[in-house]
Amino acid sequence: MSKNPDVLVIGGGIVGSAIAWRLAKDGRSVTLLEKGEIGREASWAAGGMLTPVHLADYPPALADLCGASLALYEPLCREILAASGVDPEYRTTGLLMIVTDDGGEEAARELEVWKRERHQPVERLTRDEAVAVEPEITPELRRALWLPDIAQIRNNRMAVALAEGAKQRGAEIWANTPVTGFLRVPGRVNGVKTPRGDIYAGTTILAAGAWSGDLLRPLGLDLKVKPIKGQILLAGGPPDFCRHMILDGETYLIPRADGRVLVGSTLEDVGFDKSVILETVGDLALRATRLMPALGKLPMVTSWAGLRPATPDRLPYLGKGPVDGLIVATGHYRNGILLAPITAELVADLLAGQPPSVDLAPFNPLRVPERIESAG
C-alpha cells in the first residue's frame, strides 16, 4: 500500500469510487479505503433509477444538481465499460407514474407542471394508453404520466466498475480496510489511521456514507448524517414482463434487462440495522402486486436492505471540511447513485483550485440544517 498518495478517499461506494476514477484519470496518485467490500453498502442496496423518486418535491439546488449529474451519466457508463470490462447496463426504459387515487392525482399534476416548466419530456396517458404501454398494469389505474427520458443502471455493477476503472488507471483500491481516525498536524488533516498502518496524503476525501458522521466528530464537526434503512425485493420474470419503470407513491418497480423486477422500497429510521424483515418483505410484495397483479405469480429471487446516508435538510455535504486537507462528499441520501458523477467532478474542481461547475454554497458541510425530513 502506498503510504503517501496525493489523494486518499475514504469509502468504496459509488461516490467514493467515482471520485477515485475521476482523479486517477487526472493522473493523481489515489488510494481508496473501504471498510468492507467495494460497493456493498448503500450502493449495492439501491434501485438504480436515475431520477429522484419525487423530483418535484426536491429543493431547487438539489434538483439542479441531479440534472447536472444525469447529463454526465451515459458517456460515463460508456467510458467505464471500456476501462473496466464491467457493464453497468445503462438503459433508458422510461418511467410510468401511475394514478390510482386522489393523492396520485395531486402528485402527477405537480410533477407534470415541474417537467413542463423545465421543458423536459412528459406526456399524459389515459387508462387505455397506459395499459397499451404496460399490459400487466393494475386494473385500479385511473391514468398515468409518461416520462420517456428516465434511465436506470445496475447500481451494484457501477460501483465495482468505477473502482476497477480507477485501479486500471493506477489507483490503489483497498477493501476491508477501515479508517480508525485521522492523522493531524495543527490546523490540517494529513492522512488516516488504519489497522494496516498510517497513511499520509496531501488531501483526504470523506465519502463514507452513513458512517461519515462518526468519523468526523473528533474533528469538531457534527454532520448529523444518519442511516435510513431501505428494504427491497427482487422477483424473477421473463424478459419484457415489465417494460418500464413504474412509480406509485413510495412504491416502484424497476425492470432489469434479464426480466427480473426490483420492488422498492421502505424508509426506516432504525439506526445501523440492515436486517431483512419478513413482514416488510411481505408488505413490499403486496404493494408490488397491487401495481402489477401478475407479479404475484413470479418467484422471489432475493431481498436485501441498505442504509442511505440522510442529512437533516436532504442536501448532501459537498465541499471543504472544517480543517485544511479534508474534503467532504457524503450525505447523498436516496440520490447517491444519481449524484456520483457530478460529485466526482466537483471534487476534481476543488482539488484543482478551479471554480466548481455548480454553486456549492447550499451543500457546504459547515452549514447548520434545521430539521430532519425522511420524505423525498
pLDDT tens readout for residues 281-299:
999 999 999 999 999 999 9
The DSSP result for 127-145, as a single string, is: HHHHHHH-TT--TT--EEE
The pLDDT, as a whole number, for residue 215 is: 95
**Below-50 pLDDT ranges, the chain:** 369-376
Answer whether 0.85 is exceeded by the pTM. Answer: yes
Q: Look at the block and give the residue holding cell 440534472.
A: 67
Counting residues of the chain whose pLDDT is more than 70, the rounded percentage is 97
The pLDDT, as a whole number, for residue 347 is: 98
C-alpha separations of 210 from 14, 80, 249, 351 in Å: 13, 26, 25, 24
**Residue ranges in 118-253 assigned as alpha helix (H):** 127-133, 155-168, 212-216
Rounded CA-CA distance 42/310 in Å is: 11
The pLDDT, as a whole number, for residue 55 is: 78
C-alpha separations of 14 from 20, 136, 253, 319, 373 in Å: 10, 33, 22, 18, 23
The DSSP result for 38-79, as a single string, is: TT-SHHHHS--BSS-TTGGGS-HHHHHHHHHHHHHHHHHHHH
Residue (of 155, 101, 116, 100) closest to 293 by Cα position: 100
The pLDDT, as a whole number, for residue 57 is: 84
